[in-house]
Amino acid sequence: MEPTILKRADHNVSRKNISSAAVKVLYRLKDEGYTAYLAGGGVRDLLLDRNPKDFDVATNATPEQIRRMFRNCRLVGRRFRLAHVLFRGEVIETSTFRAPVPDDDTVYCENIFKTGEAGMVMRDNIFGTPEEDALRRDFTINALFYNIADFSVIDYAGGLDDLKKKVVRVIGDPDKRFAEDPVRMIRAARFAGSLGFSIEESALQSICRNKEKLAHAAPSRMYEEVQKLFFCGHARDVFSWLEKTDLLHPMFHDFSHWIDEDKARHDWVIQTLEQMDRWRKAGLRVHPALLFALIFGEYHEYCTKELIDAGMSDHDAARHAVQHHLRGMCDNVRVPKVVIYQVCDIMVNQLRFQRTRGRRPSRFIQSRGFLDAFLYFKFSSKAHQRDLELLDFWTGLRQNTKQKPAEKSAESTLEEQECSPSQAEPTAE
Ligand code: ATP
Ligand code: MG
């Protein structure tokens, strides 16, 4: 198929807005005689006048050839073999054009294609043409190329039209593409939410038919994508799409049923997501443990109360509630153990805010986990209008303590960030 090609004069993608590292990689490949395209989300975002999160390069050079070309390069990926070209503070993912997935479900070439349960692609690493590479991507808006050789934009899938129409459209048959990789369904919700687009009707219907297949997705990829959902700066809108498409249930089974039972529970989640978005807009990074603690906080507190009523101690109940829930999610979303422990600490540490006598407060405030626990405590006090005197006590103590530079060093990076813009403080208005 002939692609649509937009000449430089007919689009707004400029090298000025591409990171210098990506431009270097593109030019080096081109100068060595290879085809070199900027690909994927970077081109989409530049065309939309947005700041791309990262820049990916697609080329006809093989991973080995790329490695020989760049000293600062390592080959990664079991599923896809691709090159990471490393620059200070930036990694340019550079992959060889890939061929499409074969139509039948059989393993026809060992170690190249293996098709697992329910038609999912387990391994694919066969090289293809630029067109094939474009058409094996998930959505038309993610399949655009920017050609460094003549600065044109190349569109094999109709992505330019869909950018204009503001629609997320699957490339090919949605049922087949979602069966190949169920994570694409939550990616559709993410792009619709973060770009303010709609999801094309046949894809919406297909999500409805296929959503249970999320249970077969690789749990570690689910974890990556779940983080992207909530850290993208439009978590609230993404969440609305997850609800609209009913993807929330297969992703977070117990939790989603629990929030459905009571509007106040739902409101808590929305408030935490809005807070995430405020933090992101202020340029702040929240680490995953605080994210999970906040989003699931009310649920974890509810489960904790049930365990206390059943006779467990406060401390054990808080820890058990978090572990039970987040480990349970592991079937679908593999939250790393270290993150689960950190979420536990945030919740267990909530008990320490009640103890304001003696030397306990100053010991707590200097402990490693204090800041995250405090951010949670502050958010939840304001959201529920409870413990406000305690909040004043700890805010005052924290301000006094912060003036001592020696104590500052023990705190996490969010501390520095949290000090700057005031909107970054957890608020629940
Ligand atoms: P973001 O701005 O969030 O990084 P992105 O579009 O760049 O969005 P990535 O996850 O970084 O998304 O992936 C880069 C590109 O790789 C996508 O634009 C898409 O073309 C392709 N891609 C990623 N995941 C899939 C998938 N599951 N199936 C098919 N293509 C995919
Ligand atoms: Mg990207």
On average, the pLDDT of the chain sits at: 87
pLDDT in the model for residue 427: 41
Q: Is the CB of 193 under 6 A from ligand 1?
A: no
- C-alpha distances (whole Å) from 53 to each of 19, 90, 163, 277, 278 are 10, 11, 18, 16, 18
Q: Which CATH architecture group holds 252-410?
A: Orthogonal Bundle (1.10)
Between the CA of 32 and the centroid of ligand 2 the distance, in Å, is 25
CATH classification code of 4-165: 3.30.460.10
In b/e form, how buried is each residue of 203-214, taking b as 16+ CB within 10 angstroms?
Answer: bbebbeebbebb
Q: Is the CB of 137 under 6 A from ligand 1?
A: yes
Q: Is the CB of 387 under 6 A from ligand 1?
A: no
Average pLDDT over residues 43-49: 97
4-165 against 252-410: fold identical: no
Q: Is the CB of 95 under 6 A from ligand 1?
A: no
Q: In this predicted model, what pLDDT tens digit does every residue of 165-175 receive, in sequence order?
A: 999 999 999 99
For the CA atoms of the chain, what is the radius of gyration?
A: 24
Average pLDDT over residues 182-192: 97
Q: Is the CB of 53 under 6 A from ligand 1?
A: yes
pLDDT in the model for residue 116: 52
pLDDT in the model for residue 81: 84
Average pLDDT over residues 92-96: 96
**Distance from C-alpha of 311 to C-alpha of 372, rounded to nearest angstrom:** 28
> Would you call 56 a catalytic residue per the annotation?
yes
Out of 77-91, 104-118, 170-184, the most confident range is 170-184
Residue whose C-alpha is closest to residue 170's, from 203, 131, 213 = 203
Q: Which ligand has the shortest distance to the CA of 136?
A: 1
Between the CA of 42 and the centroid of ligand 2 the distance, in Å, is 6
Out of 108-122, 127-141, 386-400, the most confident range is 127-141
Residue 79 — pLDDT band, cuts 50, 70, 90?
low
Lowest mean pLDDT among 177-186, 252-261, 393-402, 411-420: 411-420
pLDDT in the model for residue 185: 97
Q: Is the CB of 190 under 6 A from ligand 1?
A: no
Q: Say if residues 135 and 99 touch (Cβ distance below 8 Å).
A: no
Which helix (H) or strand (E) segment is 144 a member of? Answer: strand 144-147
**Distance from C-alpha of 37 to C-alpha of 3, rounded to nearest angstrom:** 14
CA 42 to chain centre: 16
- C-alpha distances (whole Å) from 311 to each of 47, 409, 427 are 59, 40, 34
Q: Whose CA is nearest to atom 17 of ligand 1?
A: 40
- Claim: this prediction has a pTM higher than 0.85: yes
Between the CA of 350 and the centroid of ligand 1 the distance, in Å, is 38
Compute, in degrees rounded to 10, the torsion defined by CA atoms 218, 222, 224, 227: -170
Between the CA of 41 and the centroid of ligand 1 the distance, in Å, is 6
Report the alpha-carbon angle 118-120-124, nearest 5: 155
Report the alpha-carbon angle 106-112-115, nearest 5: 35
Which helix (H) or strand (E) segment is 399 a member of? Answer: helix 388-402
Average pLDDT over residues 84-100: 93
Q: Say if residues 185 and 169 touch (Cβ distance below 8 Å).
A: no
For a pLDDT cut of 70, what percent of the chain falls above it?
Answer: 86
Q: Residue ranges per domain, the chain?
A: 4-165, 252-410
Q: In this predicted model, what pLDDT tens digit does every residue of 410-421 receive, in sequence order?
A: 334 444 334 333
> Would you call 138 a catalytic residue per the annotation?
yes
Q: In this predicted model, what pLDDT tens digit does every residue of 299-358 receive, in sequence order?
A: 999 999 999 999 999 999 999 999 999 987 656 788 899 999 999 999 999 999 988 888
Out of 124, 133, 138, 181, the active site residue is 138
Token couple for 5 = 């090609």
pLDDT in the model for residue 285: 79
Residue among 56, 146, 227 whose CB has most ligand 1 atoms within 8 A, to mutate? 56
Q: Which ligand has the shortest distance to the CA of 234?
A: 1
Q: Is the CB of 225 under 6 A from ligand 1?
A: no
